[in-house]
């Protein structure tokens, strides 16, 4: 996983977990990788994964079942959507707006490209 420079790594890991849940790669009510497994997988300090999991626990996306591991909460999808939307609107959208303004890209073009992207990326 390549980490971006403008956001703390633990938040990027939390977003990665969220993405796996949203895309159904990690099913609801199932156990997710342990701190150690994910740290090895992503080549990061396990303390960073602990922080990411604490963040997700606070957002009620995952639950810690003592001695067994971390599980995905039943309504994890809704919870993730909630805070991801906030994060997107706050951080990424202004940057996007800045770029389309500077490059003079019309909303119509964005819309067309968005439709194309959706059909190419998320078709089942």
Binding footprint of another protein on the chain (CB under 8 A): 3, 5-9, 11, 36, 39-48
Give min distance, CB of 13 to another protein, in A: 10
Give min distance, CB of 121 to another protein, in A: 27
Q: Between residues 40 and 89, which has the closer beta carbon with respect to another protein?
A: 40
Measure the CA–CA gap between 32 and 106, rounded to whole angstroms.
Answer: 42
CB 72 within 8 A of CB 60: no
Q: Between residues 13 and 21, which has the closer beta carbon with respect to another protein?
A: 13
At 66, phi and psi to the nearest 5? -50, 125
Q: Between residues 102 and 107, which has the closer beta carbon with respect to another protein?
A: 102
Measure the CA–CA gap between 65 and 20, rounded to whole angstroms.
Answer: 20
Q: Between residues 17 and 76, which has the closer beta carbon with respect to another protein?
A: 17
Running DSSP on this structure, what letter comes out for residue 123?
-
Give min distance, CB of 58 to another protein, in A: 16
**CA dihedral sign, ordered 90, 92, 73, 55:** negative
């Amino acid at each position: 996983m390549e980490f971006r420079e403008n956001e703390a790594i633990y938040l990027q890991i939390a977003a990665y977990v969220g993405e796996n849940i949203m895309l159904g790669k990690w099913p609801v009510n199932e156990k997710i990788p342990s701190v150690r497994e994910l740290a090895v997988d992503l080549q990061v300090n396990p303390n960073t994964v602990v922080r990411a999991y604490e963040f997700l626990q606070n957002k009620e996306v995952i639950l810690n079942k003592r001695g067994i591991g971390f599980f995905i909460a039943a309504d994890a999808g809704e919870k993730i959507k909630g805070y991801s939307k906030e994060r997107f609107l706050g951080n990424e959208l202004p940057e996007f707006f800045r770029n389309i303004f500077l490059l003079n890209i019309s909303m119509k073009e964005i819309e067309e490209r968005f439709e194309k992207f959706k059909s190419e990326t998320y078709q089942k």
